[in-house]
Amino acid sequence: MESAWSLISPCIPYLVSFLALFLLLEQISYLKKKQFLPGPKLVFPFIGNAISLVKNPTEFWEMQSSYAKSTPIGISANYIIGRYILYIYSTDLSHKIFANVRPDAFHLVGHPFGKKLFGEHNLIYMFGQKHKDLRRRIAPNFTSRALQTYTNIQQRIILNHLKSWCQKTGNESSGSIPLRILCRDMNLETSQTVFVGPYLSSVARERFNIDYNYFNVGLMKLPIDLPGFAFRNARLAVERLGETLAGCVEESEKKMKNGEEPSCLIDFWMQEHLRELSETSNNPFELTYKEIGGHLFDFLFASQDASTSSLLWAVAFLDSHPEVLERVREEVAKYWAPESDTMIAAEQLREMKYTEAVTREVVRIRAPATMVPHTAGVDFRLTENYVIPKGTIVFPSVFDSSFQGFTEPERFDPDRFMEERQEDRVYKKNFLAFGAGSHQCVGQRYAINHLMLFIAMFATLIDFERDRTDGCDEIAYVPTIVPKDDCRIFLSQRCSRFPSF
């Protein structure tokens, strides 16, 4: 033991010197990339500010926004887990990033460590013609005919959950219930049923829900891919989810080959896929079941937590703006009577202009996915004076753009989206909740319909009131943004009876 120490001890000063030099060079590299941009002047070695990001993401991103707003350029810098990052406050610069998603510029990553979670070949990582071809083949999944099928599914599920919420609040001693997990469960059932409805057994759904929870938890943790860590659990869960969805794709293709009518999104996809195969003889666009399953997971991820966020903020803003709630109820009553036991038809939904305006204002003022991470594939000149270094993770802030341009942007004002004012057209570039450029959300009409249906049915069928506490409306990241109190409300049945459909 003593002889071993005698061999090691002379090396210790050199090891310490090497470590000190490494840390110094890392700090110099950060400052060189940062240049004149606002941001912390000193960062912890390697981990940077990852601990503060994980511990309090709201505070972390608010600080980055404050840094960016403090300078006319509208950018701030930081350092996380060995990666230099930029936060983009400026709407114009965000558009410049969205418009330059290509191999020799920016790569959409969806999450700072998304490729480890989602795999290399999913829709968000595609470029060029292959990406265009895939989006063209996805488009039939969101035609008017398909959307009508989905709205019927959505309404049945929303109704069943509203009934269970009323029952639950009657059983709670406090009388109030937090909506976040309830909305999340409702959305997960909706997504599963709309996307792959008849192909998930009850056992598969239960396993699916467990794996999706692993995935959700892992999104907010450090990317430590070792046994026992949340990130490893999330990555393995995504693999299992993809395999489950691949099996659904195979079952759907068999059903569509038999000429049956589509009953969910994957049916519409497979129906169109088979039609194209029958009409094309020269190298038709082919995807494996596993690849399509991966794209279905993209849809699930995009629709699940973002939608949960919007539903919660819709309830919060309707509660704090009773005049808006009353106008929604009056408009819905013109087109839908729950006592008739009929669903809201697609044509009726399109006529609910004010309800749609409320929906869009909720999405604007509380954009659920506040940032859209990209990686710089090359050194990219963003402004005349600043070049983004290759490898930088860039965060265009959709949230901050929503408060630029619009009249009194901090005010919840659905009328801005009505025909008389048309702020959605005048300030279109600032409404980035569904992204922009080649990767703009392909399912945004579906998302708007879902939120509209929920608002219409919730306002009509339910009486509710927030269980207000200090700070209940502060923003929490989970990973999309939600009210800090998980939107705790008192609720009761408003209608004489729930519809039956």
**Residues in CB range of 223: below 8 A, 6 or more apart:** 81, 112, 113, 116, 231
Contact 399, 91 (CB under 8 A): no
Q: Is 38 helix (H, G, I), strand (E, B) or coil?
A: coil
Residue 364 in tokens: 């604007």
**Residues in CB range of 205: below 8 A, 6 or more apart:** 189, 192
Q: Is 283 helix (H, G, I), strand (E, B) or coil?
A: coil
Contact 253, 267 (CB under 8 A): no
What are the b/e assignments for 221-260, b being 16+ CB within 10 Å? ebbeeeeeebbbbbbbbbeebbebbbbbbebbbebbeeee
Q: Check the annotation: does 11 bind a ligand.
A: no
Q: For 229, which DSSP code?
A: S
**Residues in CB range of 423: below 8 A, 6 or more apart:** 406, 407, 416, 417
Q: What percentage of the chain's residues is helix, strand, coil (to nearest 5)? A: 60, 10, 30
Phi and psi at residue 403, to the nearest 5°: -110, 20
CA neighbor of 113 nearest in space, from 4, 211, 235: 235
Give CA torsion, residues 113, 116, 121, 127, to 10 deg.
Answer: 20
Contact 489, 468 (CB under 8 A): no
Output 466-475 pairs: Cβ under 8 A, ≥24 positions apart.
466/315, 466/316, 466/319, 466/320, 466/490, 467/174, 467/176, 473/316, 473/320, 474/58, 475/58, 475/366
Contact 274, 253 (CB under 8 A): yes
Q: What is the DSSP string of 139-172?
A: GGGGSHHHHHHHHHHHHHHHHHHHHHHHHHHHH-
Q: Is 366 helix (H, G, I), strand (E, B) or coil?
A: coil
Q: Is 121 helix (H, G, I), strand (E, B) or coil?
A: coil
- 393-396/83-88 β-pairing: parallel
Known binding-site residue numbers = 441
Annotated binding-site positions for heme: 441
